[in-house]
Structure 1
Amino acid sequence: MSAGFLAASGDTFTPPGPGDFNLPPVGPDKTFTFLGQEMYLGVTKPMLQIVIFAGLAFAFLYLASRHRAMVPGKLQYVGEASYGFVRNSLGRDIIGSHDFMRFVPYLVTIFFLLLFNNWAATIPFIQFPTFSRTGLVYGLAAISWLIYNYVGIKKHGLLGYIKLQCVPSGVTGPILVLIVPLEFFSNLVVRPVTLALRLFCNMFAGHLLLILFALGGEYLLLHGSLLVKPVGILAWVLFIAVAFLELLIQFLQAYVFTLLNAMYIAGAVADEH
């Protein structure tokens, strides 16, 4: 139960904040102090969610492809359509028909891992976005960074890959003194950070907004005067509307994260111009 919910149940309302995302461990609570901050060891709810929903994503893809019939059933049809969407629009169309197939398993995995975990935020009694914790998001971005840099170096060699990423085609002369450091910083240093922040911020902000509407509406209905109770009802209506909007945003974030991975891989394996 979040701190915001407990505060809203009393006589005063404390608005939700980042503390509502700092969930205690599941099981024994072992704490320690690091750089003046109290931290804890143990398995947390986001850790469990990423494992459980990764398993559910695997089960969905496995069951959808287990009995491949000429006339597909509903599950096979949904599985094939989903796989084809990632394979074609995020793989072939972005990376190119020559190289894309070897990256399709990774793109399919990352898309469904994100999609299932993002949708966990709207499932009753779970209602927590797994990737609203920066540790999980940066870990995922680090894997992406390693993959696209590895395939780029493997194809072009280290110096050739750095040249491909840092020297824009057709640019020559003294301007390169300014352009090369900027391109290096943008393409090889900042990318995983921006990739992670985009996903984290959307999951964090969306869930915080839902908490605010839900708890604020509850507080106004239970503790507000007769004049403000309609505002509480409006807050709950907005809570429901934003919850449906979040379903779309959660899908789009899985799509955008996978799309950017495909674009980075395409840039890493592209031929020099």
Structure 2
Amino acid sequence: MTQPAVVRITDPADPRLTDYTDLTDVRLRTVREPAEGLYMAESSTVIRRALEAGHRARSFLMSDKWLDGMSDVLEGDAVPAGTPVFLADEDVLRAITGFHLHRGALAAMHRPVLPSVHQLVTGARGGAGARRIAVLEDVVDHTNVGAAFRSAAALGVDAVLVSPRCADPLYRRSVRVSMGTVFQVPWTRFASWPGGLRELQEDGFVVAALALSDDAVSLDELAADPPERLALVLGTEGHGMSAAAIETADTVVKIPMAGGVDSLNVAAASAVAFWATRA
């Protein structure tokens, strides 16, 4: 049993808390966190899942009432002895983070190093290799990214790949909406776009772009005879799939619609596509 270093905080400007400041500033945090090699895990459930996935905590921040409920985590083997656990009153926590911390606790986590796309999908780092993967092109809403990861985990998608301009799957809102499944679904980010799709094709994937197109085939048709290795590409919220991605794809697929509706929200579309193509 390890012993964390419990530290009482009374000053919101304490320099030891820089990981936790400006959490409501999305633009700042999405730049800071990757650059500084960290991400935030919010809620006791998400923290537990991050640690179970082998991620390492830098520190924890919570109010006194959550300390006992988190004791099994804080004293477990996944948390090195001496890891700071910052305790503060509710008003101090709000001043530090910019919001009411009602989900139990926060943890500043070390951001893991991402593998290359080739390493991830071929199992070059010791895995079995992927057969069905999801690709998110420029999805900028963190809620949609988190929801897509949760659907991917629930419906057996082997990996998720994100374009260079896609929102960060490890931003705290993405992590929270995914219920921590961003830690269990292997993922990485493309270095180039749409060149990354050609890399998938070289690794034996059939790239299927979900988009409205005159020559699009029905998702039912794709699901009836799926390729051995399939990459489902979903486009950004407002404009859908880019022309460059559609041109690179091997096929274009559309979800059959009724009621005069032509498309679904990207998170909903991902769930439908993952379910239809499940093994």
Return the TM-score normalized by structure 2.
0.21
Q: Which has the higher strand share?
A: 2
RCO greater where, 1 or 2, for CA within 8 Å and sep 6 or more?
1
Return the TM-score normalized by structure 1.
0.22
